[in-house]
Structure 1
């Protein structure tokens, strides 16, 4: 760990519970420590409120003291800091940092968070020295947007999304960290705007105390991160772009469609350019809008491969072909043949495709999945040579202690957070059902039930 000035020393105890082990980082708004929770005997991350412009630590007492004539600003920021912690503590989402505790000590405030092994996206990009692959980018965007959607639904904004504030677990799953609401409030209060924006990632409205902000503000930052992932270059500052456009000059930022040509599909480059529009009204206005677009393109691309896997899947024991007459009766079968065989086939294939895509994306893309898919208790549907048929699969009996359908047992399940992250990316009722059967009383079960009740197929 690096050595910093004005930090708490190693082995210093906070609130008689958290023992400092070292410094993880330091910024203009505070210091981040690794610490040991002596009550629960586990590692935690602790963020200390210590904006350098407003306060300083007494080297003898370790107490943080407001600078002269900045007492009011320091106190205002401290209150907002704790308010932000209380707001974030409500979230239990795999892509939002988990707040465990918040407290006051040493004349300042502390936020205690779950400790995770991993690195920031900024560190990952620096280590790799280049761009990320398309699948990795899409996975990252879906996870971030799912977490951000929950933040926006609670009436909050992140306000400081950038690679340094996206933490990647060892599994690759991202966490949104270091929210900027308290910094934004303090900046507006003290008129110190420079302390609350990250050049290249902040849209123009964040540079003015009168700028109207909303979900579209965070979506600009998502677009800036996406631009860097695709092109390998961080975008120009939005105020510079805004100045050129106001003067009637061309936008100095090369559009993603040009800078990322050949590095990502055209639809993703077009979406990236929409996210980076300087006028806020020209950007997507909500996470759901972006999520729908990404999912629709991803599913439409992968669906043919999934249907092919179903067609190639071997029949399992207890499977037989059911004719139209057996399934629907002679009257309905005659109507189907005369009025709309195409509609029936389309509907059936749509249903199996949705199920297939859900399973395919949820369990992964290994080539050894067809048998597991064929073993599901859902019907496996195909087109026979002499008409439409339904192959009804009788599922193997589930043991008393299993509690899971065979489709879930095909592969060792990841932990709950990773499972829920996968399920929320797919966002189908079938996916939430699988999750709830695996984790009926888990940390995310309540949210999964809510999403299931309002979800699609």
Structure 2
């Protein structure tokens, strides 16, 4: 078990977003749980032979890495005197070790926002009032930090926890804001991607506006380049107002959320206080952006009228949906998985790596076991694709009584690797792929082939389009 500074015991990795590694740790001196963030931009660094120290992939990136360390150290110095912060995991200290920089932050007591959505409210859309009550203490602290020149720059559900008091707590307050690796495009506005673009308080406002949109509608805001695409009908922003998805959202609240996620920073609110005021009060003076709240009695009457007309349609749709939709989804999923795995198994090793690396987040959830977005891999059920029945099932459900036993599994791991296992009538191939192409467009793999339980062949090294480089 790794010990840093002869004091901090690393318990486990919580996540790695491509820029920082977040650890669950224990301060043996103060005897308290903490979190530690390690600067580890996977695009430009890797581990040295001791498996602990950080080394550059290319010496030409030394200046970039140094600038990142200096910028983050400067931010930490601003934050340490402010500790503790209300509903933000404050920075306790920082230190340099293993050729990189580490930040020790307060340990939040609670669960991640994603876990809260999945387990506490079972995926249901939240009301704006509920989000307001959960988030307002955190957002007020963020306004204070903005006034002091501190901007988070990477707000997303991955870095928001729900504390024991039911309020949101923001983590990862120190981050390499100008380093794009690991940034979640659904919560990042256009200025973060512009050359020499500025990171502003409005950047955080956009990000949390996108969080509100996700919590109240169940949908994520599209990346800025899709919103600005010339292919959009009549050049319009394809993002729909939250009230279109959630009947409990008032028009003025819906417009306030849309203003927070405006594409350009000058159209957004300047402070979180303005955003909170806009979604809280009944009448908002900025009628050019926010429509006044409709009278509750009018909305109730309209709903009763619409309900009478639509009830028959809803009943019919539900009945038809119960019969047809499961069959349609099952057929679509089975057809897609069959085609994917047929092509994957037949491909050469390099093409396998490309297919596994290029598989999108949605497809990963459909065709594989995607642990990469989970807090702990144990929370996920392990699925196998049975090549005989052409269905997904757990290992215990696979028929092992027959002469032939053929199945495949594909796991995406928290550490940025994917593991492909193919079992075919007693022969088994296991290939571990590091999901980032090397500087020379290759993939680092570890591959083992077994026959009747005995290792027949193995390979460890970098594989290219037309050659292997064994290590």
TM-score between the two structures when normalised by the length of structure 2: 0.55
Taking structure 1 as reference, are residues 212 and 36 closer, same or farther at Cα in structure 2, changes over 3 Å only?
closer
For the pair 1:208 / 2:202, whether they are aligned, the reply is no
Residue of structure 2 equivalent to 1:36:
26
For the pair 1:82 / 2:88, whether they are aligned, the reply is no
Taking structure 1 as reference, are residues 103 and 84 closer, same or farther at Cα in structure 2, changes over 3 Å only?
same
**CA separation in 2, counterparts of 1:89 and 1:229?**
31
Structure number, greater radius of gyration: 1
Instruction: Find the partner of 2:133 among 139, 154, 158.
Output: 139
Residue of structure 2 equivalent to 1:223:
209
Instruction: Find the partner of 2:172 among 170, 173, 178.
Output: 178
Taking structure 1 as reference, are residues 280 and 30 closer, same or farther at Cα in structure 2, changes over 3 Å only?
closer
- Tell whether the 8 Å contact from 1:197 to 1:207 is kept in structure 2 after alignment: no
Taking structure 1 as reference, are residues 107 and 214 closer, same or farther at Cα in structure 2, changes over 3 Å only?
closer
**CA separation in 2, counterparts of 1:27 and 1:197?**
7
**CA separation in 2, counterparts of 1:49 and 1:43?**
20
For the pair 1:119 / 2:119, whether they are aligned, the reply is no
**CA separation in 2, counterparts of 1:126 and 1:82?**
35
For the pair 1:17 / 2:7, whether they are aligned, the reply is yes
Instruction: Find the partner of 2:92 among 100, 103, 123.
Output: 100
For the pair 1:129 / 2:129, whether they are aligned, the reply is no
Where 1:235 maps in the other structure, the secondary structure is coil
Greater strand content: 2
**CA separation in 2, counterparts of 1:251 and 1:157?**
27
Decide which moves more: 69-78 or 234-243: 69-78
1:202-231 Cα offsets, whole Å, 9 max, x none, are 111112124344222211112111111111
**CA separation in 1, counterparts of 2:233 and 2:66?**
41
**CA separation in 1, counterparts of 2:229 and 2:75?**
33
Taking structure 1 as reference, are residues 212 and 230 closer, same or farther at Cα in structure 2, changes over 3 Å only?
same
**CA separation in 1, counterparts of 2:105 and 2:4?**
14
Decide which moves more: 58-67 or 234-243: 58-67
Taking structure 1 as reference, are residues 247 and 254 closer, same or farther at Cα in structure 2, changes over 3 Å only?
closer
Residue of structure 2 equivalent to 1:259:
245
Where 2:177 maps in the other structure, the secondary structure is helix
**CA separation in 1, counterparts of 2:220 and 2:268?**
19
**CA separation in 2, counterparts of 1:96 and 1:166?**
9
- Tell whether the 8 Å contact from 1:123 to 1:164 is kept in structure 2 after alignment: no
1:37-71 Cα offsets, whole Å, 9 max, x none, are 12111111111111112222224362222222222
How far off is 1:245 after superposition? Answer: 9.2
1:270-327 Cα offsets, whole Å, 9 max, x none, are 21111122232222122222233344349xx9xxxxxxxxxxxxxxxxxxxxxxxxxx
| Structure 1 vs Structure 2 CA RMSD | 2.6
Residue of structure 2 equivalent to 1:168:
162
- Tell whether the 8 Å contact from 2:156 to 2:211 is kept in structure 1 after alignment: yes
- Tell whether the 8 Å contact from 2:89 to 2:108 is kept in structure 1 after alignment: no
Taking structure 1 as reference, are residues 40 and 106 closer, same or farther at Cα in structure 2, changes over 3 Å only?
same
How far off is 1:166 after superposition? Answer: 1.1
**CA separation in 2, counterparts of 1:49 and 1:215?**
23
How far off is 1:102 after superposition? Answer: 0.5
1:242-266 Cα offsets, whole Å, 9 max, x none, are 2349995121111223233x13222
Residue of structure 2 equivalent to 1:241:
227
Structure 2 residues not aligned, in runs of 5+: 284-292, 294-471
How far off is 1:172 after superposition? Answer: 1.5
Residue of structure 2 equivalent to 1:273:
258
**CA separation in 1, counterparts of 2:29 and 2:160?**
29
- Tell whether the 8 Å contact from 1:49 to 1:81 is kept in structure 2 after alignment: no
1:347-388 Cα offsets, whole Å, 9 max, x none, are xxxxxxxxxxxxxxxxxxxxxxxxxxxxxxxxxxxxxxxxxx
How far off is 1:28 after superposition? Answer: 0.6
**CA separation in 2, counterparts of 1:68 and 1:95?**
39
**CA separation in 1, counterparts of 2:232 and 2:196?**
18
Where 2:81 maps in the other structure, the secondary structure is coil
**CA separation in 2, counterparts of 1:134 and 1:26?**
30
| Number of residue-to-residue matches in the alignment | 282
Residue of structure 2 equivalent to 1:331:
none
Where 1:103 maps in the other structure, the secondary structure is strand
Greater helix content: 1
Structure 1 residues not aligned, in runs of 5+: 1-9, 188-192, 302-457
Moved over 3 A (4+): 210-213, 244-248, 294-298
Taking structure 1 as reference, are residues 115 and 236 closer, same or farther at Cα in structure 2, changes over 3 Å only?
same
Where 1:220 maps in the other structure, the secondary structure is helix
Residue of structure 2 equivalent to 1:154:
148
How far off is 1:80 after superposition? Answer: 2.0
How far off is 1:86 after superposition? Answer: 2.0
- Tell whether the 8 Å contact from 1:230 to 1:263 is kept in structure 2 after alignment: no
**CA separation in 2, counterparts of 1:217 and 1:150?**
15
